[in-house]
């Protein structure tokens, strides 16, 4: 056997940032395994890590810019591509105003430091209001509540699961997702450790998930009703005098008044959680020696996503579980993303609205649920050209079919992406970056969201191809051409110089050089109390009665009294599987092979009523569309709820992902509705989309 060399890096596919040990010979990967010497991930990896090899070797991964022609895609030079992009964007903006160009930045943007750091430069240069990202289909409510309560949208509380005695998990399935807004590699063992030290893990989810299976208790909740569950939890805690909030809170009495009417009995029918259960969970939570409530995407992507995150934060505060070991804590990262905006208030909400639906801006972005109509609706400010980067919004945002139609009519579209997929197939030009094992990466986001203060720099394993460019080079080339700073001697600057500077000025006085000495990652210790100093509110207090969120109570009260639609009589929710990664890793045979995962889960009683048997094909229909999909009957979903994974639907014509197309599946986002929103934050709703399901054998046509 040839002697192989070893390379250590962090996996950047999901938020767990596991340490990898990669053996290679020349430019061939021999093996990818967990790095046992990484004290944070302790050798943990999931099946996706090995797929980094598949992405590296994937013959369908683009290496050169391509232009779409009537006879297919043709390779062009970088220079030609950059010039064309700049001329088309500039012309369209000159003729129609700056807002005529839109941009969507997708999920991997935050998993690649070069992309993240250079992307914002391009967004600024575009001078457009039409900036969209995966944030408004994901964690926007977390930022909103953090801004309202802690004074900064990036001051996100992290559950200290290594020290907690009671972990309440709502709308998250970390065993499948490996955790989110909680970088915690090897979450399964961390969860087990809670139980081994006598603690409890309680899961609230409309599905009995892989996480629920490992928990001490699981309770079904009707999708979209968590806000009432949380109000009732707080009501019990106040009524039974179980509160022990720290000094640095304001609005405690006001919060008590807000929650007072929401007795467990009032909300039990609506949430589907028994009043006795709500009381019991509230008491256990409030009396545990330490406890932390954690609510992720299932809690955010619902009509009251913002309010859910507010009340969840409040629950942690009121019970004395904030800024305390085993509770909700704040990181003090080596590169502090808050440092740039310290001191000043962060007031970036509703400064402008979307053109068509008047939806509010937040953090310089508009809700992605309005992207299609901004392209389709004529008038001044209509989006005529679009840049997508790291994103596949046709599969990942509500009403993907509408977006598919919208993209088809753009005057110009350019995608910075490695594949010709459902979205990028509409582009006139695709500019493919070097990626994966070829990049340098410092995880600015997930080091800052980790359950311990950690830092790590990954160097490229393989050099990019001679003619290849990194995302940051592509961004800077386009930016410079838009701002007029481009010349024949222009050379993009590696944005990691900014990381180095931030590390040097940071709390631990590190540098990229220093981090290179720690190929297995650097552990900077457990999270430490840092409030009220780190709070960015003007009174240095946590706001329990934040203005904008409190205003939302009217909408919340009203919805409790509004009868549910009987036309679409089931509620659709989403699910993740450990071998999927949003929409983009299905061209790896080893990840997709085996049993079809894109199936609808349905409760046997719901199936029986509709004459549906397991393994048959059913039609799922919502206000916006319909799909046909195989059904599996299981009591693991709540009565009245059906579940489909997202990120599938590769059967569309023109997609150049042959393996993914073999396992095409259907897109759940051909069912999700762009009109269903958290009206306060503008976040998309994926949990509890009203649908009807029929046996394909006896389809009745509804008009």
Q: Which of 113, 149, 669, 681 binds ligand MGD (CB under 6 A)?
A: 669
Q: Is 368 in the site for ligand SF4 (CB under 6 A)?
A: no
Residue 393 engages ligand MGD in binding (rule: CB under 6 A): yes
Give CA angle at 566 (564, 568), nearest 5°: 100
Told to check if 472 binds ligand MGD by CB under 6 A, we report no
Q: The dihedral of CA 536, 539, 543, 544: what is its sign? A: positive
What's the sign of the alpha-carbon dihedral 546, 552, 558, 560? Answer: negative
Stretches 167-175, 260-268, 497-505, 593-601: which one binds ligand MGD (CB under 6 A)? 167-175
Decide if residue 143 touches ligand SF4 (CB under 6 A): no
Using omega within 30 degrees of 0 as the cis cutoff, is the peptide bond preceding 532 cis?
A: yes
- When binding is defined by CB under 6 A, the residue of 8, 11, 105, 430 that contacts ligand SF4 is 11
**Whose Cβ is closer to ligand SF4: residue 46's or residue 549's?**
46
Longest dimension (CA), the chain: 72
The reply on whether position 580 binds Mo ion by CB under 5 A is: no
Contact residue for ligand SF4 among 135, 178, 424, 447 (CB under 6 A): 178
Q: State how far the alpha carbon of 377 is from the alpha carbons of 286, 423, 465, in Å.
A: 51, 20, 42
Angle between helix 113-126 and 496-505 (nearest 10): 110
Tokens of 303: 């009509």
The strand order across the sheet containing 19-25 reads 5-10, 19-25, 28-34
Residue 444 contacts which entry, ligand SF4, Mo ion, ligand MGD, none (Cβ below 5-8 A, type-dependent): none
**Which strand (E) or helix (H) includes residue 691?**
strand 689-695
Residues with Cβ within 8 Å of 450's Cβ and at least 6 positions away in sequence, in order, are 17, 40, 158, 183, 184, 331, 333
**For ligand SF4, which residue of 7, 13, 130, 204 counts as binding (CB under 6 A)?**
13
601 bridge partner residues: 632, 643
Residue 330 contact among ligand MGD, ligand SF4, Mo ion, none, beta carbon within 5 to 8 Å by kind: none
66 contact choice in Mo ion, ligand MGD, ligand SF4, none (CB below 5 to 8 Å, kind-dependent): none
| Closest distance to ligand MGD from the beta carbon of 572 (Å) | 9
Q: Is the dihedral of CA 633, 636, 638, 639 positive or negative?
A: positive
In the set 93, 148, 209, 458, which binds ligand MGD (CB under 6 A)?
Answer: 209
Which stretches of 199-274 are DSSP H helices? 210-214, 226-239, 252-259, 264-271
How many residues touch ligand SF4 (CB under 6 A)? 12
Angle at 588 between CA 13 and CA 43, to 5 degrees: 45
- Strand-strand pairing, 19-25 and 28-34: antiparallel
d(CA 599, CA 335): 42
- Please, are residues 102 and 367 in contact by the beta-carbon 8 Å criterion? no
Q: Do 639 and 605 meet the contact criterion of CB atoms below 8 Å apart? A: yes
Decide: is 443 part of the binding site for ligand MGD (CB under 6 A): no
In the stretch 184-213, what mask flags binding to ligand SF4 with x, by CB under 6 A?
Answer: -x----------------------------
Binding ligand MGD by CB under 6 A: which of 119, 141, 157, 174?
A: 174
> Of the two residues 401 and 581, which places its CB atom closer to ligand MGD in the complex?
581
Using the contact rule CB under 6 A, the part of the chain among 14-22, 102-110, 415-423, 432-440 near ligand SF4 is 14-22
Query: Contact at 8 Å (CB) between 421 and 392?
Result: yes
Under rule CB under 6 A, how many of the chain's residues touch ligand MGD? 66
Phi, psi of 555 (to 5 degrees): -65, -40
Closer residue to ligand SF4 in complex, CB, 206/519 = 519
Specify the stretch interacting with ligand SF4 by CB under 6 A; choose among 7-15, 534-542, 609-617, 621-629. 7-15
Is residue 272 close enough to count as binding ligand MGD by CB under 6 A?
A: no
What is the rounded distance in angstroms from the CA atom of residue 542 to the CA atom of residue 246? Answer: 10
List the end-to-end C-alpha distance of the chain, in Å, as a whole number.
Answer: 66
CA distance 455 to 448: 9
- The entry of Mo ion, ligand MGD, ligand SF4, none that residue 13 binds, CB within 5 to 8 Å by partner kind: ligand SF4
Among 178, 250, 587, 683, binds ligand MGD (CB under 6 A): 178
Shortest reach from residue 124's CB to ligand SF4, in Å: 30
Report the residue number, 273 or 444, with the smaller CB distance to ligand SF4. 444
Interface map 120-159 toward Mo ion (x if CB under 5 A): ------------------x---------------------
Q: Binding string to ligand MGD for residues 588 to 627, with x set by CB under 6 A, is what? A: ----------------------------------------
Q: Which residues bind ligand MGD (CB under 6 A)?
A: 14-15, 106-108, 112, 115, 134, 137-138, 170-174, 176-178, 180, 204-207, 209, 221, 223-224, 226, 296-299, 302, 389-393, 396, 416-419, 421, 433, 435, 471, 573-578, 580-584, 646-647, 668-669, 672, 686-688
Q: Which residues bind Mo ion (CB under 5 A)?
A: 138
């Amino acid at each position: 056997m040839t002697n192989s060399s070893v390379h250590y890096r962090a996996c950047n596919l999901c938020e767990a940032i596991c340490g990898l040990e990669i053996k290679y010979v020349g430019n061939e990967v021999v093996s990818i395994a967990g790095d046992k010497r990484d004290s944070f991930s302790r050798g943990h990896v999931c099946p996706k890590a090995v797929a980094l090899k598949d992405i590296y070797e994937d013959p369908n991964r683009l290496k050169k810019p391509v232009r779409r022609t009537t006879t297919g895609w043709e390779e062009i030079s970088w220079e030609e591509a950059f010039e064309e992009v700049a001329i088309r964007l500039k012309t369209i903006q000159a003729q129609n105003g700056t807002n005529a160009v839109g941009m969507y930045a997708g999920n991997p943007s935050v998993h690649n430091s070069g992309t993240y750091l250079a992307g914002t430069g391009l967004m600024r240069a575009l001078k457009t209001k039409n900036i969209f990202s995966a944030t408004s289909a994901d964690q926007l409510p977390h930022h909103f509540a953090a801004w309202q309560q802690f004074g900064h949208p990036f001051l996100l509380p992290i559950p200290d699961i290594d020290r907690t005695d009671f972990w309440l998990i709502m709308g998250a399935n970390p065993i499948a997702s490996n955790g989110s807004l909680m970088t915690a590699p090897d979450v399964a063992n961390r969860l087990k450790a809670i139980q081994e030290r006598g603690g409890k893990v309680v899961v609230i989810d409309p599905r009995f998930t892989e996480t629920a299976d490992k928990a001490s208790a699981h309770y079904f909740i009707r999708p979209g009703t968590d806000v009432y569950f949380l109000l009732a939890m707080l009501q019990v805690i106040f009524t039974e005098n179980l509160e022990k909030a720290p000094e640095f809170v304001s609005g405690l009495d006001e919060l008590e008044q807000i929650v007072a009417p929401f007795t467990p009995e009032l909300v039990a029918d609506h949430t589907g959680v028994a009043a006795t259960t709500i009381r019991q969970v509230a008491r256990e939570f409030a009396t545990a020696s330490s406890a932390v409530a954690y609510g992720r995407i299932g809690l955010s992507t619902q009509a009251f996503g913002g309010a859910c995150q507010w009340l969840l934060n409040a629950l942690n505060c009121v019970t004395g579980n904030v800024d305390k070991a085993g509770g909700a804590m704040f990181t003090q990262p080596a590169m502090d993303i808050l440092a740039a905006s310290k001191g000043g208030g962060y007031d970036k909400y509703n400064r402008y609205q979307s053109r068509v639906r008047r939806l509010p801006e937040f953090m310089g972005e508009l809700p992605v649920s309005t992207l299609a109509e901004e392209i389709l609706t004529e008038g001044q400010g209509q989006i005529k050209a679009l840049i997508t980067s790291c994103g596949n919004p046709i599969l990942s945002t509500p009403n993907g079919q509408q977006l598919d139609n919208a993209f088809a009519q753009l005057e110009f579209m350019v995608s910075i992406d490695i594949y010709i997929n459902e979205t990028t197939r509409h582009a006139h030009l695709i500019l493919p970056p070097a990626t994966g094992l070829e990049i340098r990466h410092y995880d600015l986001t997930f080091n800052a969201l980790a359950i311990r203060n950690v830092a790590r720099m990954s160097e490229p394993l393989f050099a990019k191809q001679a003619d290849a460019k990194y995302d940051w080079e592509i961004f800077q080339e386009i930016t410079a051409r838009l701002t007029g700073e481009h010349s024949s001697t222009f050379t993009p600057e590696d944005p990691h110089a900014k990381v180095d500077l931030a590390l040097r000025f940071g709390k631990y006085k590190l540098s990229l050089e220093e981090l290179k000495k720690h190929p297995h990652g650097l552990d900077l210790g457990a999270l430490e109390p840092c409030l009220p100093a780190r709070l960015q509110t003007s009174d240095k207090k946590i706001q329990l009665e934040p203005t904008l969120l409190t205003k939302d109570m009217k909408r919340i009260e009203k919805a409790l009294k509004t009868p549910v639609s009987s036309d679409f009589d089931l509620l659709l929710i989403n699910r993740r599987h450990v071998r999927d990664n949003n929409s983009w890793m299905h061209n790896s045979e080893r990840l997709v092979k085996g049993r079809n995962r894109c199936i609808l889960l349905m409760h046997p009683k719901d199936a029986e009523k509709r004459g549906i048997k397991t393994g048959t094909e059913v039609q799922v229909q919502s206000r916006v569309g319909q799909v046909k999909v195989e059904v599996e009957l299981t009591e693991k979903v709540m009565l009245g709820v059906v579940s489909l994974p997202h990120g599938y639907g590769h059967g569309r014509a023109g997609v150049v992902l042959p393996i993914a197309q073999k396992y095409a599946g259907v897109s759940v986002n051909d069912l999700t509705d762009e009109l269903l929103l958290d009206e306060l934050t503008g976040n998309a709703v994926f949990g509890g989309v009203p649908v009807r399901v029929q046996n394909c054998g006896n389809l009745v046509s509804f008009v």
